[in-house]
Amino acid sequence: MILRMEFKKILVLLILLGILIAQARAQSYDFVVAHDGSGQFKTVQEAINAVPDFRKNPTTIYIKNGVYKEKITVAPSKTGVRLVGQDVQKTILTHDDFASKKNRFGEEMGTTGSTSFYVFGDEFKAENITFENSAGPVGQAVAVRVDGDKVMFQNCRFLGFQDTLYPHGEKSRQYYKDCYIEGTTDFIFGWSTAVFENCEIYSKKGGNYVTAASTSEGQPYGFVFLNCRLTGDAPEKSYYLGRPWRPFAKTVFLNTYLGKHINPAGWHNWNKPEAEQQVLYAEYNSKGPGANPKARVKWSKQLTAIEAQEYTLKKIFGDWDPLAEKPAPPAGK
């Protein structure tokens, strides 16, 4: 009897502790978004619009599970916005525009206009969220376009087909950690300096190029993949690691697993022979069935161990250390 009473006391204390923890978590977010009305807002865009312009401190928005079909913009004035999803598999921000779709003026939207989620504000961060363009295999259809500086995505998914992820801003520094990115043709493309660490890059059937960097002339870094995994359901040898959207493209893979879908040549010049003298397409310590340094095109590069040391977050990002950022509060239930 005494043991049973003690057990009940412990159980009650645990329940009370859980309630207190949940309350503390709820209070640690500035805004909560929920379809069911249990938060301050029912849409993500409403919550972002409520962020004070050019706020110096981060504004954390917690998004409860649900499919939010919205075309969302983080404006340049909305700085320090931090989105935290309840569950990366169940917190989905999606839209279905595509480049050849006509707008209300009867004009094609174009690649940029197809975007589901725009990031123009600096110091944006997202965690535990799926970003999607659900238009399907209909040509260019962007899930996320990023122009802001000091932007980080952690444990996020990017779903689409052609042109899924658009690191667009020339002066933009972006860090993707523990993310999943899928697509077909050129599904990671753009001007920005972007580091992908411990990410899965999934090539779907019907495509042929993983990246299409358009790095500006003189920019020291473009796309850098650290300890990633290139996987997919595409046929064997059907994908190139990259092709130059612009002639000074820079794309480097370090300590990365390459699946059998990667073509032995590795890289394609996009029928621009002059780009062969201007691009930097390089690898270091590639592994897996798609790693074939001897078969790579002659104008690509295999880095030495000393050269690989130039690809640290400090050297790539300079005065911005994304890992020094304060972590978001733990997700509530």
pLDDT band, very low/low/confident/very high, at 74 (cuts 50, 70, 90): very high
How much is the pTM?
A: 0.90
Q: Measure the CA–CA gap between 33 and 44, rounded to whole angstroms.
A: 6
What is the per-residue pLDDT across 241-263, written as a single tens digit (0 to 9) for each?
A: 999 999 999 999 999 999 999 99
pLDDT, average across residues 150-163:
98
Catalytic residues: 186
pLDDT for 328:
52
The closest alpha carbon to 213, from 237, 240, 242, 184, belongs to 242
What is the per-residue pLDDT across 87-145, written as a single tens digit (0 to 9) for each?
A: 999 999 999 999 999 988 999 999 999 999 999 999 999 999 999 999 999 999 999 99
pLDDT, average across residues 312-329:
85
Is residue 68 within 8 Å of 42, Cβ to Cβ?
Answer: no
- Is 60 exceeded by the pLDDT of residue 329? no
| Residue whose structure tokens are 């504000």 | 121
What is the per-residue pLDDT across 24-61, written as a single tens digit (0 to 9) for each?
A: 454 589 999 999 999 999 999 999 999 999 999 999 99
Is residue 286 within 8 Å of 260, Cβ to Cβ?
Answer: no
- Is 70 exceeded by the pLDDT of residue 330? no
What is the per-residue pLDDT across 163-174, written as a single tens digit (0 to 9) for each?
A: 999 999 999 999
pLDDT, average across residues 186-204:
98
3-class state of residue 70 by DSSP = coil
C-alpha 114, offset from chain centre = 17
pLDDT for 158:
99
Number of Cβ within a 10 Å radius of residue 132: 24
What is the per-residue pLDDT across 215-237, written as a single tens digit (0 to 9) for each?
A: 999 999 999 999 999 999 999 99
Q: Measure the CA–CA gap between 49 and 227, rounded to whole angstroms.
A: 36
- Report the percentage of the chain scoring pLDDT > 70: 89
Q: Measure the CA–CA gap between 61 and 82, rounded to whole angstroms.
A: 6
Query: May I ask the CATH architecture of the domain 32-324?
Result: 3 Solenoid (2.160)
The closest alpha carbon to 127, from 176, 70, 55, 75, belongs to 176
pLDDT, average across residues 173-181:
98
- Is 50 exceeded by the pLDDT of residue 197? yes
pLDDT for 18:
46
Q: Where are the domains of the chain?
A: 32-324
Higher pLDDT, 32 or 325: 32
pLDDT for 179:
98
